[in-house]
A and B are shown apart, each in its own frame.
Chain A
Amino acid sequence: MDYRLSTVNRRQSDAQINSDLLRPLLRTSWRFYLLVLVFGSIVLAAVGAWLYQVNSGFGVTGIRWPIFWAFYVTSFVFWIGISHAGTLISAILRLVQAEWRRPVTRCAEVITVFALMIGAMFPIVHLGRPWLFFWLAPYPSERLIWPNFRSPLVWDFFAINTYLTGSVLFLLLPMIPDFAVVRDKSTGLRRRIYGLLAMGWRGTPKQWHRLETAMSIMAVVILPVAVSVHTIVSFDFSMAPVPMWQSTIFGPYFVAGAIFSGIAGLIIAMAFLRKFLHLERYLLPMHFENLGKLLLVMAVLWGYFVFNERLVTYYGNEPAHMAVFWQTQRENFAPLYWTMVTGNFVIPVILMGLKWTRRTITGCVIASLGVVVGMWLERFLIIVPSLGHKYLPYAFGHYRPRPIEVLIAGATFAAITLLYVLFAKVVPIISMWELKTPEHAPGGGHGEVPEAALGEVRP
């Protein structure tokens, strides 16, 4: 079978799509319980570690002056970056009407919501007194100190909350027709719950139009918001007088890196879903290959940004900047730096550049794993070497992560997997109504209705 010519919805009937995609909801296998047990245990261990940190103070972590931002802020930036997998990619593919997007969009949008939730959690994990996190919110406190609107941390608050709100709604809206299908296919309490979630959806032409118009508006609105979110995250660094941080390229560099890591995260998640939910008929090699092409483009773009950043720093030859520069190129952090370059550039460019590896799911997943590791290291290498080598020697320092922060940062990968598994248990992980909609429908919702579609009598 030539998978390039095959499309999902030409081959599957509506009933077949319902049956295949509702199976994980209506039947529970032992693998579900096993996954929940394994990943749930890791998450619980991390919660315990965090409570221990809250109780004992930050002394139990490796965070010391002058490196106050380390694993936690690395994880914050990393997960906000991964969140660009979904809403941004989904919105772009919707706007350009890429037909192959249909089985991919929901998998992607879910990653956005969960990655944002996990990312947004880290500023709180990073607080010594986490119960005071609400001081970030713009409210008139009894101390008569409102948040400083000129602080990038307050910009983060607004940007992340706007993106999270938009992403949750962007995910939820197209789920409503699918909730109606689950309602119709289930009984008892489950039917009542999905009936509530479906909010009386019937599928009138008016409802479909309004839903599609709302999705178009959301796609247009969410794109600049997604770009702004990671630009603002980059401002957390580039607005500070720290060597190699004050860079005008940081905004686009961070956005490109976020999309890059997001695509990698999406490929891994899709491969996981395909395997465990038996979605081979829906998540085709074609989808992995197309995302692999995007990964290749972003790998090259990432290499371009890194080259720019490094070359300009090198020519500037500022002593403080060069100290950090050499730390990463050939001193303490060089092994991590070159691992990052290998993961982010060498592996994806080779694997996704060669047709025979790009067309295999294994090739795409290996390249994506390299990118995920590389992008986490990239965030770490932006933060730690610079904070450890500021302008004056009195502010030099080292960072050694302790088990607490390694566990908490590592458990976030288990947390997103757990959330994903639970989500796939209660919501069809592929948008069923979008799969059922024929590709390149005449009129397509934007043009004229062909005469042949008007029927035999038109009063």
Chain B
Amino acid sequence: MKAVYALYDDGRAAQQAVNRLRAAGLTDPEITVLSGRPMEEFEFGHIDKATWMWWIACGGGLIGLSGATALAWVTETWWPMNVGGLPTFAWWPNLIIMFELTMLGAIIATVVTLAITAGFGRGKGRLYDPAVSDGKILVGVEDPPSARLEALQSALSVTQDAVIKIV
């Protein structure tokens, strides 16, 4: 992998770098921003924010509800047990099972969606610098065209103390 990036101490400088990369013609998906914490107080921290996760969680809940209903129905009608004169398929106690599995479905759907959309397990070989863990904010471009390398370096030179690296 070839990349050019800079490390900044504060979000304001990182925001300026992102803006200058955009002005240089790069789109948001072409810009890499890495930080050791959420940077929601800056505009770049809101890149790629839209998500269907809430709806997917609801879908997971519906699957859990359906599964619980089927499980309770199959269990109680295929192997009927007479308990205290209750109906063979009794709604009140079954609601408890349905509730729990609905919630379990929502939880599992949320975690699976997170793992897929956040790219868990796919970070190897991507642009990264351990200085991010110490609070630095990385702004850079992966696989930049050689012809534009100088322009990108110039765009990243937001502050005098910005460390610009090419890997």
Q: Do A and B come from one complex?
A: yes
Contacts of B23 in A (CB 8 A): 457, 459
- Check A149/B93 contact, CB under 8 A, given A206-B118, A437-B37: yes
Interface residues on B, range: 35 or more
Could you mark each residue 431-451 of chain A with 1 if its beta carbon is under 8 Å from any beta carbon of chain B, else 0?
001001110011111000110
Q: Do A436 and B36 have beta carbons less than 8 Å apart?
A: yes
Contacts of B128 in A (CB 8 A): 202
- Check A200/B122 contact, CB under 8 A, given A184-B130, A437-B37: yes
Assembly CA distance A437 to B99 (angstroms): 35
A217 touches which one: B11, B35, B110 (CB < 8 A)? B110
Contacts of B121 in A (CB 8 A): 199-200
Assembly CA distance A169 to B113 (angstroms): 13
Give chain B interface residues in 55-97, CB to chain A under 8 Å. 57, 71-72, 75-76, 79, 81, 83-84, 86, 90, 93-94, 96-97
- Among A15, A144, A162, A185, the one with the most B-chain Cβ atoms within 10 Å of its Cβ is A162
- Among A217, A222, A437, the one with the most B-chain Cβ atoms within 10 Å of its Cβ is A217
Segment with Cβ contacts to B, from A207-215, A264-272, A348-356: A207-215
- Check A199/B16 contact, CB under 8 A, given A181-B36, A443-B41: no
Contacts of A430 in B (CB 8 A): none
B34 touches which one: A144, A154, A203, A457 (CB < 8 A)? A203
- Among B38, B47, B90, B117, the one with the most A-chain Cβ atoms within 10 Å of its Cβ is B38
- Among A199, A205, A232, the one with the most B-chain Cβ atoms within 10 Å of its Cβ is A205
Contacts of B38 in A (CB 8 A): 205, 208-209, 212, 433, 437, 445
Give chain A interface residues in 401-459, CB to chain B under 8 Å. 433, 436-438, 441-445, 449-450, 453-459
Assembly CA distance A450 to B40 (angstroms): 10
- Closest chain-A Cβ to B84's Cβ sits at a distance in Å of 7
Interface flag for B166 (CB, 8 Å) = no
Interface flag for A395 (CB, 8 Å) = no
- Closest chain-A Cβ to B133's Cβ sits at a distance in Å of 4
Q: Do A184 and B15 have beta carbons less than 8 Å apart?
A: no
Contacts of A437 in B (CB 8 A): 37-38
Q: Which residue in chain B gives the minimum CB-CB distance to A169? A: B111
Assembly CA distance A180 to B97 (angstroms): 38
Interface flag for B2 (CB, 8 Å) = no
B49 touches which one: A13, A205, A456 (CB < 8 A)? A205
Please name 21 pairs of A and B residues whose Cβ atoms are closer than 8 Å in the assembled complex, sorted by A.
Answer: A147-B75, A150-B86, A155-B97, A177-B37, A200-B119, A202-B128, A204-B34, A206-B117, A206-B119, A208-B40, A210-B53, A210-B114, A210-B117, A214-B113, A218-B107, A222-B103, A433-B38, A438-B41, A449-B42, A449-B46, A457-B22
Closest 8 pairs between A and B when the two form their complex, measured CB to CB: A200-B123, A14-B135, A455-B15, A184-B130, A206-B48, A208-B38, A199-B120, A457-B19
Chain B interface (Cβ < 8 Å from any Cβ of A): 11-12, 15-16, 18-20, 22-23, 32-49, 51, 53-54, 57, 71-72, 75-76, 79, 81, 83-84, 86, 90, 93-94, 96-97, 99-101, 103-104, 106-108, 110-111, 113-115, 117-124, 126-128, 130, 132-135
